[in-house]
Amino acid sequence: MFNKKLLLLVTFLATSINAETNLETEEIIVKNYQYDSKESTSPYSIEIHTAKDIKASGSTSVQSYLSQHSSLNITPNYGDRAKANFGMRGYGEDAHQNIVMTVDGQRMNNIDLSAPLIGQIDINSIERIEIVKGTGSVRYGDGAMAGVINIYTKGYNGLSLESSIGSGGLIKKIMNAGFSHEKFQLSLSAVDDKSEGIAAPDTNGNKDRFRNKTQTAKLNINASDDTKLNFGVSSSRIGQHVVGILTHAEFHEDPRQNGGNAYNNFDIDNDRYSAGVDHKYNEKLNLNANMYYEDKLYNALNASGDKYTKGYFGSNFTGDYKGEGYNLTGGLQYFDGERKSVDQYPGKTSKQNISAFIDSVFQVKGLSDKFLFSAGFRREQVNYRHVDVAAISKTRETLAAYDLGVNYAVNEKLSIFSNINHGYLSPDIDRFFKSVWNSSSPYNFLRRDFQGFMESAKVKTLNIGLNNITNKNKLKVVAFYSDLKNEIVLDPSTFINQNLDNSKKYGIEVQNEFKFNDQTTAKILYNFIKAKIGSDNNSKYIKGNDLPGVPRHALVLNLNHKFSDQGDINITHSWRDESYAINDWENDNTQKTPYYNSTDLNVNYDIKNQDYFNKVSVFGAIQNIFEHKHAQIIANDTFYAYNYTRTWVTGVKIDF
């Protein structure tokens, strides 16, 4: 099967480069990331998804869109639909910790093992997603080992109502409202998203239900011609029952069954507040300051876990100076997070990050103006503090990041680039603890024992690529090589975290977009990744084995056809190679994570010339048309089933 897909890839690339067409391919401006520039002159690997792409996909959640339409390797976090494992550049089960995720500039990463809570983000609110690979450590610091995912949300004007229904009792209701004035813009949104689930009821009669209620408000004020103020507040209430494990036989017989499990119940209350100011000091210097606070209550008591609160405070101060032939950006950043247990055991642990960075993009006088250079450096101090009934423990570590890059414009269409990045990941607070379970069935969680602090992971990544952006197509190819020191992993046999030295990751990434004509556009994404584990002090792991949970090959094929001025149809096929089970460090388990193989169809149609409404849009989507079975495999006979059947959704959106 893979050979056929690879042949299709080669054929498609050859067709894209040689085909004749007079169409202009839009070249998107990379904004609010490193600097304002065109994709063709960027010295980094960037993958961009616009609101138009998201609408055409028909996806009903951020997780499903990124899983089926991006180059990321995404799976539900042990069946959790509110959080997901984000795979990029071969970092395995906990790849999300090696990726910085931001929403409108605010960091979404947690100080513990929890994945970012993307279930609270309404997919219809997204204006743009930027996936930046192999860099980001200078601007974002701690955690940007694999790269950065930046999500930008829309501002609204007017009123729109949307309602949809779908498989598994899916009912989604969305209200967006906005008001614009010369001096301010106010945007409001409310989402009520619920599903009764598809799996069979558990031993207590519960289905794999999901409920998300989120309200968001954003206010932008033009205080003067040179100063803008922004404020934001959001509140999310998420509750769900998460499916349990199945054996290999149960999964293949019927992945809907529960296998005698009582589904775990998780409830999350999340509130976020933000404020910021942008000031244009003069024609060359722009100043920005913003701060945010986030409060979470995480209740996992019904999942044999813990009930705890998490509070985060962050602030960023940056200045951007644009001179003749160069752009200089510097900043100070502060982050303070604390986790405090409420019930099962006393204690609280905090993590504090204090950092400064400087970043630049420039051309060298006397050298051809076809060269664009970038250079940046960051210094960050990380402070930990753990308090329990026994003692107070503290430690600190000072870390550094740098990035050097160059882009050479061969001609107006073709450029080649390279950059070398040094990044780091300081351990999250869960890494300092050992989970203790009772020794007999049912294996319930008892407590966490503090094991002491551990070293931060560090990585050097070399990227070499090309951008070929013409009136025919947009082609990007990147090869990368990463050398890791002290990679942080969990020993599944002891539940103790440790460091691996001299791990390696390398591969190639391809993006291509081609317009056949005014009506039809095709896209292709392909990744080849090889992730080799390093050695540990106890020689437990076999150096050179494949890192579990990392598929070598991934392919996404997308075709969009506009069948009229009012409607379009979109079909996507996403495929990922099989991989070793999450706990299979020896690479000898008989059961592997199966191929991911899903074909999805979406249709959008706008009803224009309405007497009572500005626009009425109807849409429908079918996912996993051929009903391939998918699962996250932890070990032999430990299957978390997901996306194993055909599902559908249909709805209507009215703009007033």
DSSP 51: H
pLDDT tops 80 at residue 127: yes
Amino acid 500: pLDDT = 86
Q: Token pair of 352, please? A: 């504090």
3-state secondary structure of 144: coil
Joined together, the tokens standing for residue 439 give: 């020794």
- Min mean pLDDT across 3-7, 187-191, 235-239, 509-513 is at 3-7
Please check the confidence at residue 409 and state whether its pLDDT lies above 50.
yes
Angle, CA 478 vertex, CA 476 and CA 480 arms, to 5°? 170
* Phi, psi (deg, nearest 5) at residue 379: -125, 130
How many angstroms separate the most distant Cα atoms in the chain? 75
Looking at per-residue confidence, does 300 or 238 come out higher? 238
CA distance 313 to 353: 11
Judge whether 89 and 134 are in contact, CB under 8 Å. Answer: yes
d(CA 151, CA 104): 6
- Listed residue (184, 180, 98) closest to 489, CA to CA: 98
Compute the distance between CA of residue 98 and CA of residue 376 in angstroms, rounded to an integer: 20
Find out whether 570 and 576 touch, Cβ atoms under 8 Å. no
Q: Each residue of 129-165: b (16+ CB within 10 Å) or e?
A: bbbbbbbbbbbbbbbbbbbbbbbbbbebeeebebebe
CA–chain centroid gap for 134, Å, is 14
Q: Is the peptide bond before 442 cis (omega within 30 degrees of 0)?
A: yes
The amino acid present at 366, given as its one-letter code, is G
CB 376 within 8 A of CB 403: yes
- pLDDT for 1 equals 46
Place of tokens 């959080």: 83
| Contact in structure between 472 and 25 (CB atoms under 8 Å) | yes
Residue 389 Ramachandran class (φ > 0 left, ψ -120 to 50 alpha, else beta)? alpha
Average per-residue pLDDT for the chain: 87
Please give the single-letter amino acid code of residue 90.
Answer: G
Query: Which of 570, 590, 572 lies closest to 581, judged by CA?
Result: 590
Q: How far apart are CA 568 and CA 562, in angstroms?
A: 4
Name the more confident of 138 and 610.
Answer: 138
Encode burial over 548-583: b for 16+ CB neighbours within 10 A, e otherwise. Answer: bbbbbbbbbbbebebeeeebbbbbbbbbbbebbbbb
- pLDDT band at residue 83 under the 50/70/90 scheme: confident
Closest Cα to residue 141, out of 497, 456, 462, 507?
456
pLDDT at 254: 94
What pLDDT sits at residue 302?
59
Q: Give percent of the chain with pLDDT exceeding 90.
A: 55
Mean pLDDT of 396-417: 94
How confident is the model over 257-288, as pLDDT tens digits? 988 888 888 888 999 999 999 999 999 999 99
pLDDT at 24 over 60: no
d(C-alpha 329, C-alpha 542), whole Å: 43
For the cut 90, the answer to whether the pLDDT of residue 109 exceeds it is no
pLDDT at 549 > cutoff 70 = yes
Is the pLDDT at 4 greater than 60, yes or no? Answer: no
pLDDT of amino acid 612: 83
For range 156-165, the mean pLDDT: 93
pLDDT band at 7 (very low <50, low <70, confident <90, very high): very low
Say whether 65 sits in a helix, a strand or coil. Answer: helix
Q: Is the pLDDT of residue 574 over 70?
A: yes
| Element spanning 81, H or E | strand 80-87
What confidence score (pLDDT) does residue 444 get? Answer: 65
User: What pLDDT does residue 18 have?
Assistant: 44
pTM metric for this prediction: 0.89
Query: Pairing relation of β-strands 99-103 and 147-153?
Result: parallel
Query: Distance between CA 407 and CA 419 in Å, rounded?
Result: 9
Query: What pLDDT is recorded for position 10?
Result: 40
Distance, first Cα to last Cα, the chain: 48
Confidence class for position 628, pLDDT limits 50, 70, 90: very high
| Mean per-residue pLDDT, 543-547 | 89
Domains of the chain: 2-655 (2.40.170.20)
What pLDDT is attached to residue 9?
43
C-alpha closest to that of 502 among 484, 528, 482: 484
Q: Could you tell me where the DSSP H helices lie in 177-271?
A: 248-253
Check if the beta carbon of residue 183 is closer than 8 Å to that of residue 168: no
At 35 the pLDDT is: 41
More confident residue, 493 or 51: 51
